[in-house]
Amino acid sequence: MPDNSQIHPFNQAVELVPTSPYTYQGHIPESYANMVGPFGGIIVAVILNGILSHKERQGNPISLTVNFAGPIADAPYDLAVRLMRTNRSNQHWIAELTQGSQVAATATAVLAIRQETWMMSEARAPDAPRPEEIESWPAPPVPQWIHRYDFKFIRGELTLSDQLAKDSESLLWVRDTPERMLDFLSLAAISDVFFPRVFIRRQQLGVASTVSITTHFHADYSSLERQANRPILAFARGQRFHRGYFDQVAELWSDEGDLLASSIQMVYFKD
């Protein structure tokens, strides 16, 4: 059975304690540690949690941008959210995550109450074998956050062969581990679940860190409920690696072929 209770590591990691009407405090546990600071996706989820759990929140996420301004220490952080405007069917938020006097992340979000309209899925899910047919990736011991997910690579695995790959694409099935019902927070986190595209293209490790990630949500509540705790088909590719920065385009698909979210990020790297 899916475990969606408070004791799931994801729920622990995104937990926030209100400290005023528009501020929270939290502390990302070691279980989501990356090489330097926590996994970026959990920071994205924490910020979205501060907005979605606010009593003035109206609607569900349409767009979320998080800019990573500096490393986050293994210590408590403060999250401030500001409601900028509420319209009839949408809402605009800003957020800042700080440690001491330093801003660690800034964010903006748009929430909306969706209406019934003409619908069309133009993009098509990549061809992929079913997740049951693929072995789980035997993840190395560190970083810790990779053990919070079950990765099943179809292509574009990190081999560290030191041979230039023909492209920077990865296609994989991914879900939380232990299993957990998909929600907007975990979907937002999974949009950052890909290894830096420069590592995949060059098949070598290096220095790389996301400076900005934007996720656009097509999923509504019923999409999340349908997907439940089953793996998501996740695709990522880099478009251009140019003088210290590359972009990473990502698509997250339901196992029924619906585009749940699309995401794009800019990543700092050095040789």
User: Can you give the binding site for a second copy, defined by CB under 8 A?
Assistant: 62-63, 65, 67, 69-70, 84-85, 87, 89-90, 92, 94, 96, 102-103, 106-108, 110, 112, 114-123, 167-168, 198, 201-202, 211-212, 214, 216, 218, 220, 237-245, 247, 249, 251, 258-259, 262, 264, 266, 268-271
DSSP state of 78: E
| Smaller CB separation from a second copy, 55 or 240 | 240
| Smaller CB separation from a second copy, 55 or 242 | 242
Q: State how far the Cα of 108 lies from the Cα of 45, in Å rounded to an integer.
A: 13
| Smaller CB separation from a second copy, 169 or 179 | 169
Residue 77 φ then ψ, to 5°: -125, 160
Q: How far is the CB of 199 from a second copy (least distance, A)?
A: 12
Q: How far is the CB of 62 from a second copy (least distance, A)?
A: 5
Q: How far is the CB of 57 from a second copy (least distance, A)?
A: 16
**CA dist 225 → 42, 90, 182, 215, 217 (Å):** 21, 22, 7, 20, 15
**CA dist 138 → 40, 153, 170 (Å):** 22, 11, 16
| Smaller CB separation from a second copy, 179 or 220 | 220
Dihedral through CA 60, CA 75, CA 263, CA 94, nearest 10? 50
Q: How far is the CB of 266 from a second copy (least distance, A)?
A: 5
What one-letter code names the amino acid at 211?
V
- Record the tokens describing residue 200, joined without a space: 């995949």
Q: How far is the CB of 195 from a second copy (least distance, A)?
A: 16
